[in-house]
Amino acid sequence: MNERRILLIIGGGIAAYKSLELIRELARRGVKTSAILTKAGAEFITPLSVSSLTGEKCFTDLFDLTDEAEMGHIELSRSAGLVVAAPATADLMAKAANGLANDLASTALLATDKPVMMAPAMNVKMWEHAATQRNLETLKGDGAMIVGPEKGDMACGEYGEGRMAEPADIADEIEAFFLKDAAGPLSHRRVLVTAGPTVEPIDPVRFIANRSSGKQGYAIAAALRNLGADVTLVTGPTNEKPPAGINVVRVQTAREMMSASEAALPFDCAVCCAAVADYRPEIETPHKIKKERGGLTDIPLTENPDILKTLSKMTEGRPRLVIGFAAETDDVLGHAEAKRNRKGCDWIVANDVSPGEHCAMGGERNTVILITEDGDEEWPEMSKGEVARKLADRIAGALKGPALVKAAE
């Protein structure tokens, strides 16, 4: 299908209000939505609110003669590339798992010949019940994709697993589904992205690290995936949720990140966005160092492997494009240009991480300078997602032609 379209089935539950934001989020990503609102779902949101966001009629009744004449529940169930149930209540999951079809939603699930994705939402005890877990395994066995649920506070006052996944996370999974067979400009290109900080242990309770949140690297990984790239994300410890549809390798130390990056070879492009610790303690002690003994005032350090330089100066199998990042607090351009020459990478993305209200490190926005052999290009302040998309577009353009850089001598 050229058109990216889903059929959204909205079950009954307080999480139904999230389906409205899901429709908005999908529209922002160019995915169109047709919708079925169950009778129980209509107790929480209205057909009018759904149709006003989809721009189409919201279907509700299996036995509506007009709907059957104009569309028909069979055609409705097969008119989109993916059927998504969100929220997928315990009742809706039970009907789908056992082949029941006594309303429009369950009939559409049984009649469809398209893949099905479900975002469960229910009380924690309902989710943990043996019957629900049996139905879940049946649905998975039948090929249904499951997103969530998450842990959190329930509308009923309880806490636990059962909250519907956030709309943006569901949209990520939907987008990844449509992208897996899409012919984007980076299709058949393998890309490495490093992100986040590295953590260098001193003793069992202390470590050397930095303030990197991983937000920019994760956004870059998602943007490259959206252009069809086969992305491997090697990430230090962060609170960010990895984008769907990419290979994620979690590491702690710089040495682990170096090993994981080399293990991912070969790839067409490497984007080294991680804030890798320059040094680590020579010895990691197995016991807590007591400050009373003065052990914390003299910790010998040794240099960590230089991932960017290693990839840039490979004599065999060098990526066609190697991109580094330079986080600076003063003379941003000068230090970044010197880093590019010193490391031997093709591009450097420089940004000012001086402390302040809008500090890029850990924040949501960034102001960068793209430095290449052709010169320097200052980009205006924008969200990290926008920076990622713009950089991904530049990467796609650069990888169109012949090899950009010969293997380093």
- Which residue numbers are catalytic? 156
Structure tokens at 219: 């956004």
Q: Phi and psi of 13, rounded to 5°?
A: 160, 160
User: In this structure, is the dihedral angle defined by the CA atoms of residues 198, 204, 207 and 213, taken in order, positive or negative?
Assistant: positive
Q: Packing angle between helix 90-98 and helix 130-141, nearest 10 degrees? A: 50
Closest CA to 353 of 215, 251, 224, 254: 215
Closest CA to 323 of 367, 267, 402, 279: 267
Residue type, 324: G
User: How far is 319 from 312, CA to CA, in rounded Å?
Assistant: 8
User: How far is 99 from 102, CA to CA, in rounded Å?
Assistant: 10
Binding site: what residues are annotated? Answer: 278, 288, 305-308, 325, 339, 343
CB 343 within 8 A of CB 312: yes
CB 391 within 8 A of CB 370: yes
Our CA angle for 356, 390, 383, nearest 5°, is: 30
Our CA angle for 350, 337, 233, nearest 5°, is: 45
CB 324 within 8 A of CB 340: yes
State how far the alpha carbon of 367 is from the alpha carbons of 52, 197, 348, 363, in Å: 37, 20, 13, 11
Binding site for CTP: what residues are annotated? Answer: 278, 288, 305-308, 325, 339, 343
State how far the alpha carbon of 384 is from the alpha carbons of 121, 175, 237, 321, 356, in Å: 31, 19, 19, 21, 17
